[in-house]
Amino acid sequence: VTLAAAVTDHVGPAERWTQPDARDFNTVNRLITAPLLERGSLSWKTWWIGFAISLVLTLTMLVSIIWLFVKGVGIWGVNSVVVWGFALANYVWWIGIGNAGTLISSMLLLARQKWRASTNRFAEAMTLFAATIAGLFPILHLGRPLYFYWLVPYPNTMTVWPQWRSALIWDFWAILSYILFSIIFWYVGLIPDLATLRDRARGRFARTFYGACALGWRGSARHWRQHEILHLTLACLGVPLVVSLHSVVGMDFAASLMPGWQETIFPPYFVVGAMYSGFAMVVCLAALVRWGFNLQPLITVAHFEVMAKIMLSASLIMGLAYATEWFTAWYGGELADRSLLVFQFTGAYAPLYGALLVCNVFVPQAFWFAAVRRNITAVFAIAVIINIGMWIERILIVWNTLSHDYLPSSWRLFIPTIWDWLLLFGSLGLFALMFLVFVRIFPAVSMHEVRSLIEEETGAEETTT
């Protein structure tokens, strides 16, 4: 809370979260609903190109999944010792991205960070899509994916229950509850906007569709009050949930016996890492949505600046976490830990480890400079770099430990195959596809929250002037 307050403190009156020309409710509504209700007013060429590319990638993913089911997980680069590979790294990466939407919506809501209003909707959608994709990987990675439901404690003739001590079971529940929560939270936030769309829609189909989705929202004070309470309550639930989710993901590794994994720092370190990569993805999407739907009046440079500050602080925490790992490995004096540390810096994956440090720790230091923070292209580029860096971090967590654990006789490397890459890029395609469809069906920015932001901003202006 204090951190969030600190980063927004010096935003002067001139740098509000909306531009003055958009500060009336009708303009806001029109700006946001234009892509949905006045499609002709925008050029959809880029959207179609994006859609085609992401469709191709999605089909690639489909093909690689089918091939995976036909042949078995042996089509990947996993081997007898490095038994985990891209699938687990992709999972952790996607679930990390899936973190930021809830963080922005809940944590910033509770922290009364009003600027979140223009970003939380698509961030929540991002969360939902990313978490869904993340949820696929643990199933795809199974040797016998058809039996994934054995993780569910259902009554069965074998009278066998899941094994509750396994971090993977915790994980299963964490993802499941997170996805369910994300859907509810996202949808609850969407209801007033759906009603707005229903009311503004001209086509009969759109009216019916949005009307059905709006669940009879009439905008009464009672509705608003109950909505507010529900939204806040969900936000209160969401914050611990998102923290626990990523802590549990961290425990997938930490609740083990392996050097480089068995570290108490993992849960918080994973939460911060998730927030980090999630914010980076939000920045990327914000830049694209802003540019694609002419939302410059609602998503301003100030948004990018404040998110850059959050990424900067996260990068410092990540740097600290890395340094802590090195220190404890050395200070703990365990042979395997020290040997692993040496391997990280000098082994076969050392160039990747260097890239990780550059992407996650060094490059984001550019955000110390206001000029960089306020340059949307630069912020976008750095956010992409951070996402790459975070993916490398995830894969190295898996690779380093498994490639270099206790017995030197079992030290082996992981060599990715074409199917590893296809599934990774295919999942990016699926994500893009879902996002592109989302922005054509639902308002990418929350109208009612932006309206209340404008209410506040104009109020603030009045008091200052």
Partner 1 sequence: MTRPPATLREGGAPPPHDETAFAVDRRAALRFLASSAALALASCGRPSEQVVPYVEIPEGVTPGIRMAFASALALAGYARGVIVTAIEGRPIKVDGNPRHPASFGATDIFAEAAILSLYDPDRSKAPRIHGGLRSWPAFEGELQTQITQERARDGAGLRILTNRVTSPTLLGQLQGVLKLFPEAKWYRYEPVDDDAERGGAMQAFGRPLTALPRLRDARVVLALDADPIGCGPEQIRLSREFVAARQAPSAADFLRLYVVEPAFTLTGANADHRLPLDHALIRNVALVVAAGLGAAVEAPPLPDAADRFARAVTADLKARAGQAMVMAGRRQPAEVHALCHWINHALRAPVDFIAPVDPAAAGHGESLRALASEIAEGKVQTLIILAGNPVYDAPGELKLAEAIASVPFSAHLALYDNETSACCKWHLPLSHPLESWSDLRAYDGTASIVQPLIRPLYDSRTAHQLLAFLDGAVAASSYDLVRSHWQNEAGATDFDSWWRQTLEDGVIADSAAKKVSVGDASLPKVAPGLAPGTLSLVLGPDPSIWDGSFANNAWLQECPKPLTKQVWGNALHVSKAQAARLGLVDGNVVRLRCAQGTLEAPVLVRPGQADQTIEATIGYGRTLAGAIGNSIGFDLNALRRLDAPWVIDGVEIARTGRQQELLLTQHHFQLEGEARELQPRFTLAELAQGRADHLAKPGDNPPTLYPPRANDTYAWAMVIDTGACTGCNACVVACQSENNVPIVGPAEIAVGRDMHWLRIDSYLVDERPGFSPIPCMHCEHAPCEPVCPVAASVHDAEGLNLQVYNRCIGTRFCEANCPYKVRRFNFFGYADGEEYANFGAESIRAMFNPDVTVRARGVMEKCTYCVQRISRARRAAEKENRRIRDGEVVTACQAACPTRAISFGDLSDPEAKIHALRREPRSYALLGDLGTRPRTTYLARLDNPNDALAEHGS
Contact flag: residue 167 with partner 1 (CB under 8 A): yes
84 or 178: CB nearest partner 1 = 84
From candidates 11, 34, 53, 83, binder to partner 1 by CB under 8 A: 83
2, 26, 43, 80: which one binds partner 1 (CB under 8 A) = 80
DSSP 20: G
Site string for partner 1, 122-161 (x = CB under 8 A): ----------------x--xxxxx-xx-xx------x-xx
Number of residues in contact with partner 1 under rule CB under 8 A = 51
Q: Which one, of 266, 269, 287, lies nearest residue 277 by Cα?
A: 269
**Secondary structure (DSSP) of 61-97:** HHHHHHHHHHH-GGGSS--SSS---HHHHHHHHHHHH
- Asked if 342 touches partner 1 (CB under 8 A), the answer is no
- By CB under 8 A, residue 221 contacts partner 1: no
Q: Report the residue from 34, 42, 81, 206 that binds partner 1 according to the rule CB under 8 A.
A: 81
CA atoms within a 13 Å half-sphere pointing along the CA-CB vector of 64: 26
Member of 256, 296, 324, 328 binding partner 1 (CB under 8 A)? 256
Q: Are 145 and 139 in contact (CB under 8 A)?
A: yes
Cβ closest to partner 1, residue 161 vs residue 369 = 161
Residue from 32, 37, 57, 82 in contact with partner 1 (CB under 8 A): 82
Task: Map the footprint of partner 1 across residues 40-79, applying CB under 8 A.
Answer: 71-74, 77-79
462: Cα within 13 Å, side-chain hemisphere: 7
> Phi and psi of 464, rounded to 5°?
-75, -35
Question: Pick from 194, 385, 402, 454: which binds partner 1 (CB under 8 A)?
Answer: 402
Q: How far is the CB of 79 from partner 1 (least distance, A)?
A: 3
Q: What is the dihedral of CA 247, 253, 258, 263, to 10 degrees?
A: -20
Q: How many CB atoms lie within 10 A of CB 415?
A: 11
Residues 195 and 218: beta-carbon distance below 8 Å: yes
Q: By C-alpha distance, which of 300, 365, 311 is closest to 11?
A: 300
Closest contact distance (angstroms) between CB of 337 and partner 1 is 12
DSSP code per residue over 131-183: HHHHHHHHHHTSSSGGGGGGGS----TT-----TT-HHHHHHHHHHHHHHHHH
User: Residue written as tokens 């993913």?
Assistant: 61
The verdict on 411 binding partner 1 (CB under 8 A) reads yes
Which is closer to partner 1, CB of 147 or CB of 330? 147
**258 to 317, contacts with partner 1 by CB under 8 A?**
258
Q: Which is nearer to partner 1, 101 or 138 (CB)?
A: 138
Strand positions, DSSP E, 87-203 = none
d(CA 83, CA 100): 29
CB of 153 to partner 1, least distance (A): 11
Q: Name the strand (E) or helix (H) holding 1.
A: none
Residue 66 CB, nearest distance to partner 1 (Å)? 16
Selected from 6, 335, 418, 437, the binder of partner 1 by CB under 8 A is: 335
Q: Which residues bind partner 1 (CB under 8 A)?
A: 71-74, 77-84, 138, 141-145, 147-148, 150-151, 158, 160-163, 165-169, 172, 255-258, 335, 339, 402, 405-415
